[in-house]
Structures are given as C-alpha cells and as structure tokens.
Amino acid sequence: MNYSSASSNKIYQEKPAFSKPSHHKPKGWTDCTLGYIREARQWAMCILRNRRLMRRPYSWVVHLNLNEELPVTAIKEMWPKVCRKLKDRGIVALWVREANRLNKCHYHILIKNNVSVADLKRAIEDAMPSRKVVKWRKRVEPIKNEWRLCHYIVKAKVRGHNKKGIMVEDLYRQKRLLFVAKLNFKKVGTIGDFWEEGKNKKTFWDEIKAIEQRIGEGLDKPNVKRLCKHVFDFLGGFVPLKKIERSYGYDADGPAVQDWIETLLTTEWADEDR
C-alpha cells in the first residue's frame, strides 16, 4: 500500500498555550505546555524507577525517523503493525512518538530486553514498511547516560548546557512540540512486558508520590535537615546535599537517624546551642 503525501496541516501546535486557568494542576500531553512538562516528568521518573527494579541497564535506544510527511491516518495505521511485529520478534520496549518542525513523525524506542544490535536492527527492518512505501531511517545507539536519556526521549524539563555551552533551565524547550489534540495520537506506549512486576505507569507514579511525601515529611521532623547538613559538611561536600536529604528524609524515623541526632544534641550541637 502506497501512502499519499500529507496535507499542509500541522500535526503539532505552533503556538501552544503555556498554561490554562484551572483550580487543578495541568496535565496531559496536548492541553498546554505546563501540562506536557508535568506529564513528561512523571514518565521520566517512572521509566527510571522501572530501571531500578530491573537491576540492570536498558539495552539500547533506537531513534526512528520518518523522512516524509504522512497523513495522520497512515501513521495511525502503520505504527500498531510495527509494534506487533517487534513484539512477535521478542522485542520488549517503550516508545515515544514526537513531531519535528518539518511536520514529520519520529520515534524513540527504549529497548529493555537483552538483544544483540544485529538482531535488533534486523527486527526493525522486518517490522517497518518497505522504504519503497515509506521513507524512513533508523539509528541504534548504546545508552551512555540513562538519567539524561529518559528525560530526553519525553522532553522533560531539566537543566543543562545547550549547544553553545550555556547553562539553561529548560534544555529541551525548543524540541518540545505538542501534538494537535484532535489527532488523538498516543504519545507513549510499550511493546511486550516493559514494566517490572506487572505494574504500569500509574502504579509506579503512585509509588513515587508516596516516596516523595515520606521524604518531605521526614525532612520536616526536628533536626533532620540539620543532620543532613552535618553529614554534607562531614563528607566535605563530596556527596550532594540533595542526595543526603533524600536518603535521611526517607529514613527519618529509623533508629540510626534518630540515635545520631540524639548523640549530636548532647555533644557537638549542645555547644552550638548554648
């Protein structure tokens, strides 16, 4: 089946609303930019938590670009078939669909299972349409920095140095394009058993929220933040303060943390508090 050329209609929003008046926090990939940022943060954190439960790295990342504009109906028809064929070939992965400013679609595919690069490339070639039907290209890469990659593929908001070497607060702002809502494009999906322990994104996010609440409540307990600063100074700043706070905040009620606080209150801090 040959696909016809796409119309000039954009599949992405050229001027998305940054936020919308509401009593609720913005959410979703297409409503507004703040909603996208919030959604992307959740997905990045869930993907990383899934990785921790795996106890091994993700295997590869695949960048799959469509080199031509395709009608929305053609994209919707093609991609589920590609995912089914990849699953049939034993590929387990998470994929993210994006648009670029040339109005073309591309995909980031995070490979979970152990597969050789040769077998992975062969599976992709077999799953994708013939290049005589759809022009496309692929790039398979090893993963150098999982934290950075998991934020990049969903375009989550992170600080970083841009191509000019300047530190910016939102590194992927220029690359973050919102699909037009009426297209009903699925933004993220999985192939095979991607999530560990039979969980899903919602389950992981609920766990993450509970962890963050526990850390916040722990840091609010008497002298816990003071202990964190004490540990930070004791280690000469070698371990970031935020990392220490997360660890001690989570275990704030533990006997090790509480006993250390009691000891400091009667020794070093006793002199300081006089």
Q: Tell me, what amino acid is at 79?
A: W
Q: Which stretches in the chain have pLDDT values below 50?
A: 1, 3-7
Digit-coded pLDDT (tens) for 226-236: 999 999 999 99
- What integer pLDDT is reported at residue 119 of this predicted model? 97
- What integer pLDDT is reported at residue 4 of this predicted model? 45
- What integer pLDDT is reported at residue 22 of this predicted model? 78
CA atoms within 13 Å, Cβ hemisphere of 188: 21
CA-atom Rg of the chain in angstroms: 23
Between helix 72-88 and helix 117-127 the angle, nearest 10°, is 140
Six-digit token string for 143: 């993963």
85 phi and psi, to 5 degrees? -70, -40
Q: Beta strands 105-111 and 188-191: pairing type?
A: unpaired
pTM: 0.88
77 phi and psi, to 5 degrees? -75, -40
Architecture of domain 33-197: 2-Layer Sandwich (3.30)
CA atoms within 13 Å, Cβ hemisphere of 66: 27
Q: Tell me, what amino acid is at 114?
A: N
Cα(95)–Cα(53) distance, rounded to whole angstroms? Answer: 19
Ramachandran quadrant class, 90 (left: phi over 0; alpha: psi -120 to 50; beta: rest): left
Digit-coded pLDDT (tens) for 195-222: 999 999 999 999 999 999 999 999 999 9
Digit-coded pLDDT (tens) for 45-66: 999 999 999 999 999 999 999 9
- What integer pLDDT is reported at residue 6 of this predicted model? 44
Cα(110)–Cα(96) distance, rounded to whole angstroms? Answer: 9
Domain parsing of the chain, residue ranges: 33-197, 206-272
Cα(259)–Cα(191) distance, rounded to whole angstroms? Answer: 48
- Residue by residue, what is the 3-state secondary structure of the chain? CCCCCCCCCCCECCCCCCCCCCCCCCCCCCCCHHHHHHHHHHHHHHHHHHHHHHCCCCCEEEEEEECCCCCHHHHHHHHHHHHHHHHHCCCCEEEEEEECCCCCEEEEEEECCCCCHHHHHHHHHHHCCCCCCCCEEEEEECCCCHHHHHHHHHCCCCCEECCCCCEECCCCHHHCCCECHHHCCCCEEEECCCCHHHCCHHHHHHHHHHHHHHHHHHHCCCCHHHHHHHHHHHCCCCCCHHHHHHHHHHCCCCHHHHHHHHHHHHCHHHHHCC
